[in-house]
Structure 1
């Protein structure tokens, strides 16, 4: 690694560590980053002038109602899914082209003490099942992961290609941000997997990006236990059914101020992406219930032309055409056949 690369990552490690971790974890994480870092992420190599539309499917509860009747149409498009979506029937229906992971728990478990140990052990089986299903997948898939943790993926799947992005949060001059984000050298925030999903879509050259299941309202469930004085999230649900104990998470090393600051970074990242790329890349929020106000809204009906209603219309037209042709044929034979 050259001096310039060390300097680059020294700056970005400082940004990442200052915003995401406690003092007790910073030294260990910094050593890990410098040991396993890769300067050039590989997602930009997927850039293609033919890339047009991409549907980013997040896991918010609104997805369950929003996508009904549109599955077949969306499945015919390029689709990106994330986190534990592979465990749902919707994954098999949509057959996504891309899949993105970012949470360190998929790669190094609870090494950074994000969650109380009891809560992590409840969730560990969910994380492990996702990795096991990715390992056993028999459909082509492009997996997008942070470069710093790619080496922890122990499975080898001939149907899967793994590409990387840099997970470090960065904010600076806008002209520099645009270059950095477009090449996934950094992202505006590493506090939510939707951010690298959008950045990756831009880096791959997709001109129209549609967001679904992006409720982004977990902050409505923030609470502090009056006995332990610890922060937790209640009723943190997804579109799929999950065990009740998995909808409540207690944080080990994060207080309310830090959690709200992370939310500030997340929503600020969306606004910055829209500001930097909104004129070149059209990003639409198609979620019926969402706290994200940075991107213009659009309905799936307007994007896809009617969804299930479109199929009903086509069926009706074909039926009408069949009846018309049958009636015309019978009428000709009734008058002595075709001349």
Structure 2
């Protein structure tokens, strides 16, 4: 009884502290409040870049086409990007926003930029965190392609009392911790009030590709649906820009914990907003959302 009472008080004080900290961050960044465009259709599909997306695109492309489509990060590298002509694109990888004309080691970013400037000839909304504003890449996109409308979202991580966090999420003053770009994309689409959000290509199976070499360096083979598997090898996962130290095994699994916990937070928030998130990925370790098998095109 005494232990339960102590835990209750401890939890309350912890939530009070994190709520106050969240409010301080929100006040400092209130001018960056997210303002989202209205949805175009009642249903959307968020496409992750996991290897299983190839199977989903083969089996369910007609279904996906009839929804409002959301792509992320380097999806533009796939030929199907020009075929799908997605209405929405979310980039949260911070490497995009420190990229400059002098950057020599990110050919993937250079390729995405070229596709955006030269191949996107349909209206597309690009969602990026507010700290990306005035970056080299966003300057080129905003000046170079009028078809792409840039929406800056407020990536202030908010936690604490659930009622307070939900109000701040809903009003564009903060978000759950977006450990993956999929969490950011889903949060944005929940706030656009889609009736149903289908999730494809969210394998979240990085742990299957973790290795440790003889020098105790953590290696991961990151395979995307647009990659040729034979061209992808295990690479060190560095924790600093100077590439002196790789992440420890404990830090890597803590990162995975934050990702899966983020999906649980998002599931509860979506329920609060009356939005249904369904995981239609052919393969996925995400257990927060109901798993479904798409069998026929969605009716509009």
TM-score by length of 2: 0.79
2:42 is the counterpart of 1:57: no
Aligned pairs for 1:126-165 within 5 A: 126-136=108-118, 137-152=120-135, 153-155=138-140, 156=143, 157-165=145-153
Aligned equivalent of 2:237: 251
Aligned equivalent of 1:232: 219
Task: From the CA coordinates, give the structure whose radius of gyration is larger.
Answer: 1
Q: How big is the alpha-carbon RMSD for the aligned residues of Structure 1 and Structure 2?
A: 2.7
Inter-CA distance 11–249: structure 2 relative to 1 (3 Å threshold)? farther
Q: CA deviation at 1:144?
A: 0.3
Inter-CA distance 298–8: structure 2 relative to 1 (3 Å threshold)? closer
Gaps of 5+ in 1: 1-6, 13-33, 111-119, 306-339
Inter-CA distance 8–188: structure 2 relative to 1 (3 Å threshold)? closer
Number of corresponding residues: 263
Aligned equivalent of 1:91: 81
Aligned pairs for 1:183-262 within 5 A: 183-227=171-215, 229-234=216-221, 236-242=222-228, 244=230, 246-253=232-239, 254-262=247-255
Cα separation, 2, equivalents of 1:64 and 1:193: 19
Residue by residue, what CA displacement relative to the aligned partner does 1:127-165 show, whole Å, maximum 9, x if unpaired? 221122112222211000001112211212110100011
Structure showing greater relative contact order (alpha-carbon pairs closer than 8 Å, 6 or more residues apart): 2
TM-score by length of 1: 0.70
Aligned equivalent of 1:285: 279
Residue by residue, what CA displacement relative to the aligned partner does 1:26-77 show, whole Å, maximum 9, x if unpaired? xxxxxxxx8xx673333x33135x6410110111111111221432342232
Gaps of 5+ in 2: 1-20, 240-246
Structure 2 counterpart SS, 1:211: strand
2:178 is the counterpart of 1:181: no
User: Contact between 1:142 and 1:162, CA under 8 Å: does it hold in 2?
Assistant: yes
2:33 is the counterpart of 1:46: no
Q: CA deviation at 1:176?
A: 1.6
User: Contact between 1:84 and 1:126, CA under 8 Å: does it hold in 2?
Assistant: yes
Inter-CA distance 170–247: structure 2 relative to 1 (3 Å threshold)? farther
User: Contact between 1:222 and 1:231, CA under 8 Å: does it hold in 2?
Assistant: yes
